[in-house]
Amino acid sequence: MTMLASIALVLLVLSNIRLLGGSRLGTLIQTVAIQGVILAFLPLFAHPGGGLNYELLAMAAATGLIKGLVLPRMLTRAVRDVQVRREVEPIVGYSTSLLVGLAALAVSAYLGWKLSPAEPAVSPLLVPVAIFTVLVGLFLIMTRRKALTQVVGYLVFENGIYTFGVSLAYRQPLLVELSVLLDVFVGVFVMGIIVFHIQREFDHIDADKLSLLRDGESQEEHQ
Amino acid sequence: MIWTLFTIPALAGLAAFFMKSRAALRTLLVATAVAHLALVITVAATHGAPRYGAWVGVDALAIVFLFITSVLFMAASVYAVGYLAAETPGARTDIEDGELFSNEPEAVFVGCLLFFLASMTLVITSRHMGLLWAAVEATTLASAPLIFFHRHHRSMEAAWKYLMICSVGIGLALLGNLFIAAALGPSADTGLVIDELSAAAPRMNPLWLKAGFIFLVVGYGTKMGLAPLHTWLPDAHSESPSVVSALLSGALLNCAFLGILRAWQLLAAAGLTAFAAPILVAFGLVSIGLTALFLVRQTDYKRLLAYSSIEHMGIMALGVGLGGIATYGALLNAVNHSMAKAALFLVSGNLLRAFRSKEIASVTGSMRIAPVSSIIWLCGAFAITGMPPFGVFVSEFTIIRGAIDGGHVVIAVTVLLFLGVAFAAVAASVLSMVQGEPPAGVIREKETLLTILPPAVLAAVVLMLGLYVPPFISSALHKASLALEVLQ
Answer whether residue B408 shows pLDDT above 50.
yes
- How far is residue A85's CA from residue B256's CA, in Å, rounded to a whole number? 38
**Residues from chain A contacting residue B157 (CB–CB below 8 Å):** 210, 212-213
Comparison of pLDDT for A202 and B82, the residue scoring more: B82
> What are the two backbone dihedrals, phi and then psi, of residue B100, each rounded to the nearest 5 degrees?
-80, 140
- CA neighbours within 13 Å on the CB side: how many for A92? 15
pLDDT band at A213 (very low <50, low <70, confident <90, very high): low
Give the residue numbers in A contacting B (CB under 8 Å), as ranges: 48, 114-115, 118-120, 134, 138, 141, 147, 150, 154, 157-158, 161, 164-165, 167-168, 171-172, 174-175, 178-179, 181-182, 184-185, 188-189, 192, 196, 201-202, 207, 210, 212-213, 215, 219, 222-223
> What are the two backbone dihedrals, phi and then psi, of residue B453, each rounded to the nearest 5 degrees?
-60, -50
What is the domain extent for residue B317?
2-485
Question: Which tens digit of pLDDT belongs to each residue from A131-156?
Answer: 999 999 999 998 887 888 889 999 99
Interface of B with A in 183-202 (CB under 8 A): 183-186, 188-189, 192
Asked if B174 is an interface residue toward chain A (Cβ–Cβ < 8 A), one would say yes
- Residue to substitute from A210, A211, A220, interface B, most B β-carbons within 10 A: A210
Asked if B104 is an interface residue toward chain A (Cβ–Cβ < 8 A), one would say no
- How far is residue B74's CA from residue B35's CA, in Å, rounded to a whole number? 10
Distances (CA, A) of A166 to A4, A56, A109, A132: 15, 10, 18, 15
Question: What secondary structure letter does DSSP report for B127?
Answer: -
Lowest model confidence (mean pLDDT) among A48-52, A114-118, B323-327, B443-447: A114-118
Q: Scanning every residue of chain A, which has its alpha carbon at the shortest distance from the alpha carbon of B206?
A: A118
CA distance B446 to chain A (A): 30
**Residues from chain A contacting residue B168 (CB–CB below 8 Å):** 138, 141, 154, 157
pLDDT band at A203 (very low <50, low <70, confident <90, very high): very low
Binary contact (A164, B154; C-beta < 8 A): no
pLDDT band at A215 (very low <50, low <70, confident <90, very high): low
Answer whether residue B211 shows pLDDT above 60.
yes
Distances (CA, A) of B67 to A49, A100, B59, B121, B252: 49, 48, 12, 10, 13
Lowest model confidence (mean pLDDT) among A196-205, B266-275, B327-336: A196-205
Any residues with CB less than 8 A from the CB of B140 and at least 6 apart, and which?
B162, B163, B166, B167, B170, B223
pLDDT band at A119 (very low <50, low <70, confident <90, very high): low
Any residues with CB less than 8 A from the CB of B460 and at least 6 apart, and which?
none
**Residues from chain B contacting residue A215 (CB–CB below 8 Å):** 234, 294, 297, 303
- Contact status, residue A160 vs residue A139, Cβ threshold 8 Å: no
pLDDT band at B152 (very low <50, low <70, confident <90, very high): confident
Average pLDDT of chain B, as a whole number: 93
Nearest to A59 by CA among A160, A180, A186, A187: A180
Question: What secondary structure letter does DSSP report for B434?
Answer: H
Question: Which tens digit of pLDDT belongs to each residue from B86-141?
Answer: 887 777 877 777 777 888 899 999 999 999 999 999 999 999 999 999 999 999 99
Is A142 part of a structural domain of the chain?
Answer: yes
- CA neighbours within 13 Å on the CB side: how many for B248? 34
Asked if B108 is an interface residue toward chain A (Cβ–Cβ < 8 A), one would say no
- Give the mean model confidence (pLDDT) for residues B282-302: 94
- How far is residue B460's CA from residue B467's CA, in Å, rounded to a whole number? 11
- Contact status, residue B194 vs residue B266, Cβ threshold 8 Å: yes
Residue B12's CB is within 10 A of a number of other CB atoms, namely 23
Answer whether residue A214 shows pLDDT above 60.
no
Average pLDDT of chain A, as a whole number: 82
Question: Which tens digit of pLDDT belongs to each residue from B436-449?
Answer: 899 988 888 888 99
Answer whether residue A197 shows pLDDT above 90.
no
What burial class does residue B409 get, using C-beta atoms within 10 Å of its C-beta: 0-12 exposed, 13-18 middle, 19+ buried? Answer: exposed
Give percent of chain B above pLDDT 70. 99
**Residues from chain A contacting residue B189 (CB–CB below 8 Å):** 171
- Contact status, residue A203 vs residue A84, Cβ threshold 8 Å: no
- How far is residue A86's CA from residue A89's CA, in Å, rounded to a whole number? 10
Nearest to B385 by CA among B413, B333, B427: B427
- How far is residue B35's CA from residue B272's CA, in Å, rounded to a whole number? 41
What is the domain extent for residue A72?
2-211
Task: Please give the single-letter amino acid code of residue A138.
Answer: L
**Residues from chain A contacting residue B101 (CB–CB below 8 Å):** 201
- Residue to substitute from A171, A186, A214, interface B, most B β-carbons within 10 A: A171
**Residues from chain B contacting residue A127 (CB–CB below 8 Å):** none
Answer whether residue A200 shows pLDDT above 60.
no
ipTM of the complex model: 0.91
Instruction: List the single residue in A119, A167, A223 with the smallest CB-CB distance to B299.
Output: A223
Binary contact (B167, A185; C-beta < 8 A): yes
Binary contact (B156, A171; C-beta < 8 A): no
- How far is residue B94's CA from residue B443's CA, in Å, rounded to a whole number? 19
Dihedral of alpha carbons A211, A213, A214, A217, sign = positive
Task: Please give the single-letter amino acid code of residue B156.
Answer: M
User: For position B461, what pLDDT does the model report?
Assistant: 96
Question: Which tens digit of pLDDT belongs to each residue from B338-391?
Answer: 999 999 999 999 999 999 999 999 999 999 999 999 999 999 999 999 999 999
CA distance A168 to chain B (A): 7
Binary contact (B174, A178; C-beta < 8 A): yes
- How far is residue B277's CA from residue B31's CA, in Å, rounded to a whole number? 42
Give percent of chain B above pLDDT 90. 81
Dihedral angle, C-alpha B403, B409, B415, B419, nearest 10 ° = 100
Comparison of pLDDT for B88 and B16, the residue scoring more: B16
Distances (CA, A) of A21 to A25, A90, A99, B79, B169: 12, 11, 10, 52, 26
Dihedral of alpha carbons B192, B194, B200, B204, sign = positive
In three-state form (DSSP H/G/I as H, E/B as E, the rest C), the secondary structure along A41-104 is HHHHHCCCCCCCCHHHHHHHHHHHHHHHHHHHHHHHHHHHHHCCCCCCCCCCCHHHHHHHHHHH
CA distance A213 to chain B (A): 6
pLDDT band at B190 (very low <50, low <70, confident <90, very high): confident
> What are the two backbone dihedrals, phi and then psi, of residue B87, each rounded to the nearest 5 degrees?
-70, 135
Q: How far does CA B118 lie from the centroid of its chain?
A: 15
- Contact status, residue A127 vs residue B193, Cβ threshold 8 Å: no
Any residues with CB less than 8 A from the CB of B310 and at least 6 apart, and which?
B225, B226, B227, B230, B233, B287, B290, B291
- Contact status, residue B284 vs residue B317, Cβ threshold 8 Å: yes
Three-class SS state of B457: helix
Nearest to A195 by CA among B160, B147, B103: B160
Question: What secondary structure letter does DSSP report for B399?
Answer: H
Nearest to B385 by CA among B340, B330, B339: B340
Instruction: List the single residue in A48, A118, A182 with the smallest CB-CB distance to B182.
Output: A118
Is A21 part of a structural domain of the chain?
Answer: yes
**Residues from chain A contacting residue B175 (CB–CB below 8 Å):** 134, 161, 164
Answer whether residue B392 shows pLDDT above 70.
yes
- Residue to substitute from A134, A159, A175, interface B, most B β-carbons within 10 A: A175
- Contact status, residue A40 vs residue A60, Cβ threshold 8 Å: yes
Question: What secondary structure letter does DSSP report for B437?
Answer: P
pLDDT band at B188 (very low <50, low <70, confident <90, very high): low
Task: Please give the single-letter amino acid code of residue B292.
Answer: A
Answer whether residue A87 shows pLDDT above 60.
no
Binary contact (A188, B161; C-beta < 8 A): no
Any residues with CB less than 8 A from the CB of B213 and at least 6 apart, and which?
B176, B180, B263, B264, B266, B267, B272, B275, B276, B279
Is A193 part of a structural domain of the chain?
Answer: yes
Question: What secondary structure letter does DSSP report for B390?
Answer: S
Three-class SS state of B51: coil
Q: Scanning every residue of chain A, which has its alpha carbon at the shortest distance from the alpha carbon of B140?
A: A185
Asked if B479 is an interface residue toward chain A (Cβ–Cβ < 8 A), one would say no
Q: Scanning every residue of chain B, which has its alpha carbon at the shortest distance from the alpha carbon of A214?
A: B235
Number of domains in chain A: 1
Instruction: List the single residue in A157, A174, A192 with the smallest CB-CB distance to B130.
Output: A174
Is A218 part of a structural domain of the chain?
Answer: no
Any residues with CB less than 8 A from the CB of B174 and at least 6 apart, and which?
A161, A175, A178, A179, A182, B133, B219
Is A222 part of a structural domain of the chain?
Answer: no
Q: What is the CA radius of gyration of chain B?
A: 21
Question: Which tens digit of pLDDT belongs to each residue from B451-480?
Answer: 999 999 999 999 999 999 999 999 999 999
Any residues with CB less than 8 A from the CB of A130 and at least 6 apart, and which?
A160, A161, A163, A164
- Contact status, residue B42 vs residue B15, Cβ threshold 8 Å: no
Interface of B with A in 283-322 (CB under 8 A): 294, 297, 299-300, 303
Answer whether residue B221 shows pLDDT above 90.
yes
pLDDT band at A190 (very low <50, low <70, confident <90, very high): confident
Answer whether residue A204 shows pLDDT above 50.
no
Answer whether residue A12 shows pLDDT above 80.
yes
Question: What secondary structure letter does DSSP report for A116?
Answer: G
User: For position A88, what pLDDT does the model report?
Assistant: 62
Question: Which tens digit of pLDDT belongs to each residue from B248-285?
Answer: 999 999 999 999 999 999 999 999 999 999 999 999 99
- CA neighbours within 13 Å on the CB side: how many for B255? 31
Interface of B with A in 203-222 (CB under 8 A): 205, 207-208, 211
**Residues from chain A contacting residue B359 (CB–CB below 8 Å):** 222
Answer whether residue B219 shows pLDDT above 60.
yes
Binary contact (A115, B211; C-beta < 8 A): yes
CA distance B305 to chain A (A): 14
**Residues from chain B contacting residue A178 (CB–CB below 8 Å):** 130, 133-134, 174
Q: How many CB pairs under 8 A join A and B?
A: 116
Is A220 part of a structural domain of the chain?
Answer: no
- How far is residue B240's CA from residue B358's CA, in Å, rounded to a whole number? 12
- How far is residue B212's CA from residue B133's CA, in Å, rounded to a whole number? 13
- Contact status, residue B41 vs residue B156, Cβ threshold 8 Å: no
User: For position A205, what pLDDT does the model report?
Assistant: 44
Binary contact (A141, B164; C-beta < 8 A): yes
User: For position A170, what pLDDT does the model report?
Assistant: 82
What DSSP element (H or E) covers B101? strand B100-101
Answer whether residue A186 shows pLDDT above 70.
yes
What burial class does residue B452 get, using C-beta atoms within 10 Å of its C-beta: 0-12 exposed, 13-18 middle, 19+ buried? Answer: buried
CA distance A133 to chain B (A): 13
User: For position B145, what pLDDT does the model report?
Assistant: 93
pLDDT band at A202 (very low <50, low <70, confident <90, very high): very low
Is A126 part of a structural domain of the chain?
Answer: yes
User: For position A121, what pLDDT does the model report?
Assistant: 62
Number of domains in chain B: 1
User: For position A212, what pLDDT does the model report?
Assistant: 54
User: For position B234, what pLDDT does the model report?
Assistant: 93
pLDDT band at A218 (very low <50, low <70, confident <90, very high): very low
Instruction: List the single residue in A134, A175, A192 with the smallest CB-CB distance to B160.
Output: A192
- How far is residue A169's CA from residue A57's CA, in Å, rounded to a whole number? 11
Is A136 part of a structural domain of the chain?
Answer: yes
Q: Alpha helix locations (H) across B148-193?
A: 153-183
